[in-house]
Structure 1
Amino acid sequence: MLVIGLMSGTSYDAVDAAAAELRLLLDGTLLLKPLGMVSTPYDEELREALAGALPPAAVPLARVCLLDTRIGQAFAAAAVRADRELCGGRAELVVSHGQTVYHWVDGGRVHGTLQLGQPAWIAEATGLPVVADLRPRDVAAGGQGAPLVSLVDLLWLRGRPGTPVALNLGGIANLTAPDGTAFDTGPGCALLDAAVREFTGGRLAYDVDGALAARGRPHGALLDELLAEPYYALPAPKTTGKELFHAGYWRAPADLSAEDALATLTRLTARTVADAVRGVAATEVIASGGGTRNPVLMRMLGDLLPELPVRVSDEVGLPAAAKEAYAFAVLGFLTAHGLPATAPTATGARHPSILGSLTPGRDGLRLPPPAPGPPVRLRIE
């Protein structure tokens, strides 16, 4: 089946559309052949509207409706482009993660989660069935609704020697260990990106190549203060988001330079990730996500974990920039085949769940026959 996975993460800068050919073999091997990824930036008006609607902002329902529509249209445009450029117009299914705007966490329990991006726009533009709104079913089953990509990580890492850990450095960082332990470690690039926008007056959206942080030095007292955040001491499974780690989460001392502030926040991400990796006794780290393009962050992480190889997922066959989009393509493929797509050990749910809601395509909803059983491993072709 040719599947397009659509993803926009907590950095909310673009819609990534990855196309994959997926086949489930009788022995339980799920074959994934990456066909490529196209990334379509949000236009500036939509990006500003989205930034202004994220926590802790109070948002009228009219703004929610506008964002749900405009994000759905942006996802639809990305899906059309991916089908044309990567699938030759032969795609059979679209899977949309949507744009997370709120993750309702109280007392360590997730009570709800909201992703915007109305899938009807995607189905109308592509003519294809769409699997969307994947997270709420896991939450309804008592889970955290994240990290959902952990199932893909578990299947993908199975068979590698030792204790390999999959690390995603998005706006929020998360990891998955082979025993099924998975959780958000804390901020990935979220605080970094917010600080860059503030220090540059919006001229830059992120610290390109870590250049600003490279010119600074971590501020010890500020770093200690940030590391005292109670979230880090919570047991797994746990999830977080910009409800906690938003632009107003911290305030720099008046005399702190932009470069030193960014060096401090980069160190915060590296330190919290390294602490989490050591906590699961990892023997190898395989990283993906936008943070892998920040050489200063990757160097700090390597310095804090000198005993471990820290690899980018491209080295083992899965493009780091597109990994989450491919992962959601897999989750939607499982849904279409009537298979559960969660790992309860990772999310804390009571049981595995078939995820998402289905929007029919132009020719109605014609799903493949249910598969005889769930996959036991993932192989990248």
Structure 2
Amino acid sequence: MEKAYLQFVPRGRGALSKILLLSSSIKLRMASTVCCKSTATEDPGTAFNLLLSCPSGLPPSRVSVDFGRSFDRIPHPDATLESSIKEIWDQRLQKNPSLYNGTKFRYGGFSLSDSSTVRTDCSVCLHLGLTDYRTFVGTNLNPLWEKFLVSSEDDTVKCQHMANPLGNGAIVETSDKKILVLRRSHNVGEFPGYYVFPGGHSEPQEIGISSHQTNTDSSDSAALNEVVSKEMFDGIIREVEEEIGVPSDSLTEPKFIGVSQRAMNVRPTAFFFVRCNLDSTKIRELYSKAQDGYESTHLFSVSMEELERMTQRMPGCHCGGVALYKMMKGHKQ
């Protein structure tokens, strides 16, 4: 597996933090550096890593999935630490009996393929297993989450004991060239009141997956991989529709731009770029009628300058989404 790994570390007020790309032979024309501003009072929850950047924006035809149990989480050998997963979940469940332990796709890394003669024919294969919300709460959101990590420069090895459900996020650009950002409500379990992009998770249940199949031949596996890959793109459109209230026919086909990881509890998120043919005024009108106030309370349509200021109050994985978007914009210029 080839490695594309970027890391953001907060620095002093007004300082520029350079993010160096560590990759020997990736041919996705990834940017070699990117700069981010931070402040002296930087929230540690805003720190991020970029695991993969595709600044040209990849369509569904150039993003595939290898789905299988080999990318599932490996239980931690420390029995006490492993048993804390149930304890943390039970504590959460007592406080909020409505919690639901749904299945999620687990991020297990990626591989790259490309034509040796045509540089733009590169494609990405995402490695996905299965996990669930209970294990996410018990590992990634565990106060002892760092103890689940393995000392390794390979992120898949480092995070092999983590649930690491793959979230998704959409950078939605309006017809008047604004970016859509939501403010999370105070009803949510993570980062209440923070700014985020519309998104959530691609759902295994949407395509009838509740567990790994057994005794499947290669043709069945290939067909299943195609279905899961399609859900990666269908899922992000569904999230934008549900969270913003815009109709799907107002949105362009999503372009995959990379995978960001929040440094705090190593939560990974796949980001997509989507254009909407409606302007900000119309979109705000639709949002006011569609949103139920549970996950978000406000919708903002902002310029790039305003978006960068919002990163001071964004979860790290979404700050990484901003970095991926900037890299895409720089690539197109």
- Shared fold, TM over 0.5: no
Scaled by the length of structure 2, what TM-score is found? 0.30
TM-score, structure 1 length as denominator?
Answer: 0.27
